Structure 1
Amino acid sequence: MSDVLTRAATAAIRYRTGVPPQLRPPAAPRHFVGRGDELAAVRAGGVTVVSGPGGVGKTALALKWLQDRGSGDQLYVDLAVREPLGDLLRAFGLSDVEVDESVALFRSLTARRQFTLLLDNADSAEQVTPLLPASGTVLVTSRSKLNLPQAQEIHLEPLADDGRLEELLDLSYVELPERQARLYRLCAWQPDTFGVPVAAAIAGEPECDVEDALDDLVEKSLLTEVGDAFRFHELVRAHARTKR
């Protein structure tokens, strides 16, 4: 174990001026309005879980907080696409680590750094717990309340229209690639939730292409994902129907 921790110290020195490229967070949204109370509620130090339905803006809020208030190195892990602990250690140059040593090694590594860690798209408390360091700031996004011990919970509801939402939607819409913009316009005429097959039939495109485009709209908070289906917030639906 001591040899492993020595390698961890070496890796920490190697990356003392930054983090590995694959762990750097994406840029915060260029256009961000509202959520002032929620941003102010996120605390530096400790763990904050930001929960809410898909497309409500959890990741956007977390990235905005990182941009404005995050301190030290910023680490980002999308739990939906990565095997988290092993990938984190490999990113810092550590491989062939025994499973029963990996948690202690990660905590030893992060204890030597000032950092903010964003764990995006968490499914459960069990998925997150091994990644919680002894110190630093951790933000977690999840569609569910995770009930992590001593964690702060912030639940997001869809934005209400305070006069700025239409401006935000216009800015988001003009930056959409053509496929996403076309789906945004066409699917807004569906009165309720709809699945990928319905969207593909409306667009006349393969389901695999349409599914990727719908996921992009969810990421941009223009659609909400409900299980295996999608739906528009009524204010967003009304906006989409004005576009030609």
Structure 2
Amino acid sequence: MGDALAVAATGVIRGRDDVPPLFRPPAPPRHFVGRDAELDGIRAAGVTVLTGAAGVGKTALALKWLRERGSGAQLCVDLAVHRIGRVLRAFGLNVEPADECAVFRSLVTRRQFTLLLDNAASAAQVTALLPPSGTVLVTSRQRLEVGHVAEVGPLADDGRLGPLLDRSYGELPERQARLYRLCAWQPGAFGVPVAAEIAGEPACDVEDALDDLVEKSLLTEYGDYAFRFHDLVRAHARTKR
């Protein structure tokens, strides 16, 4: 299926060759270490599903593979945040809801994108979006029987992570360093209001500091204005005083 179907379905087509910034894969965390076996388990053709518990590092692993071993243009869609219609509109495609999945598959195939489908909820959600060929990475908390399934377990520190985190922490201004230490005691994901209450500071100041921690790969932004620590990063932050 090509652009002709998109025109027939919508009457409008405005395509762009570049990937819109919102849907380009972000850089992997700077403190990413290990996972060599898991990286080797991702296939350079076909579908690989990275499955594991929340916060275990599935997305970081996928981004690392894309940065170091992927090829061509890359498209990243967080299925927990973005609907496919929004992705298509970012490419200038106005598509009827019933045709969105078909046009998306055509877009990925035609432009030979390497595709990352992040935070998939079900096999049906994934299969509706799979192109007939190419490389697709999927992350999910569920074990989806789609393509090659690779289990991602907790990451053990092999001695390389600690020095990297120490260096990143040592570069933090005092406000960010204090927030890093305090929020590490908050289990799971947390939002700006919770962080502001913990720090005893205005929400606007805390939000800026949290953004800085995300930029330094010490914190992960999750959904809309929610944040969380990787387990090993949280453990490191709890050792700081």
**TM-score, L = length of structure 2:** 0.74
Aligned counterparts of 1:34 and 1:106: Cα–Cα separation in 2: 34
Shift of 1:115: 2.0
Give deviations 1:25-71, integer Å, cap 9, x for gaps.
11233332101100010001111122233332222211110111112
Residues 200, 112 of structure 1: alpha-carbon distance in 2 compared, 3 angstrom cutoff: closer
Shift of 1:187: 4.2
Matches within 5 A, 1:135-214: 135-142=133-140, 144-149=141-146, 151-174=147-170, 179-188=175-184, 190=185, 193=187, 200-205=196-201, 213=210
Contact 1:200 1:210 in 2 (8 A): yes
Aligned counterparts of 1:55 and 1:198: Cα–Cα separation in 2: 19
Aligned counterparts of 2:47 and 2:103: Cα–Cα separation in 1: 20
Contact 2:32 2:161 in 1 (8 A): no
Identity %: 63
Aligned counterparts of 2:217 and 2:131: Cα–Cα separation in 1: 30
Contact 1:31 1:171 in 2 (8 A): no
Residues 46, 238 of structure 1: alpha-carbon distance in 2 compared, 3 angstrom cutoff: closer
Aligned counterparts of 1:231 and 1:108: Cα–Cα separation in 2: 37
Residue in 2 aligned with 1:41?
Answer: 41
Residue in 2 aligned with 1:126?
Answer: 124
Listed as ranges, the gaps of 5+ residues in structure 2 are: none
Aligned counterparts of 1:54 and 1:22: Cα–Cα separation in 2: 23
Residue in 2 aligned with 1:81?
Answer: 81
Are 1:28 and 2:66 an aligned pair?
no
Matches within 5 A, 1:208-227: 213=210, 220=217
Q: Secondary structure at the match of 2:34?
A: coil
Residue in 2 aligned with 1:61?
Answer: 61
Aligned counterparts of 1:79 and 1:23: Cα–Cα separation in 2: 11
Residues 180, 159 of structure 1: alpha-carbon distance in 2 compared, 3 angstrom cutoff: farther
Q: Secondary structure at the match of 2:178?
A: helix
Residue in 2 aligned with 1:109?
Answer: 107
Shift of 1:168: 2.8
Shift of 1:129: 2.6
Q: Secondary structure at the match of 2:138?
A: strand
Aligned counterparts of 2:132 and 2:6: Cα–Cα separation in 1: 19
Q: Secondary structure at the match of 2:64?
A: helix
Q: Secondary structure at the match of 1:239?
A: helix
Aligned counterparts of 1:36 and 1:82: Cα–Cα separation in 2: 30
Q: How many residues align?
A: 230
Residue in 2 aligned with 1:71?
Answer: 71
Aligned counterparts of 1:175 and 1:82: Cα–Cα separation in 2: 34
Aligned counterparts of 1:169 and 1:7: Cα–Cα separation in 2: 51
Residues 173, 132 of structure 1: alpha-carbon distance in 2 compared, 3 angstrom cutoff: farther
CA RMSD of aligned residues (A): 3.8
Q: Secondary structure at the match of 1:111?
A: helix
Residues 210, 21 of structure 1: alpha-carbon distance in 2 compared, 3 angstrom cutoff: closer
Q: Secondary structure at the match of 1:158?
A: coil
Aligned counterparts of 1:25 and 1:118: Cα–Cα separation in 2: 8
Letter in 2 for 1:153: V
Aligned counterparts of 1:2 and 1:198: Cα–Cα separation in 2: 47
Aligned counterparts of 2:76 and 2:34: Cα–Cα separation in 1: 23
Shift of 1:86: 0.9
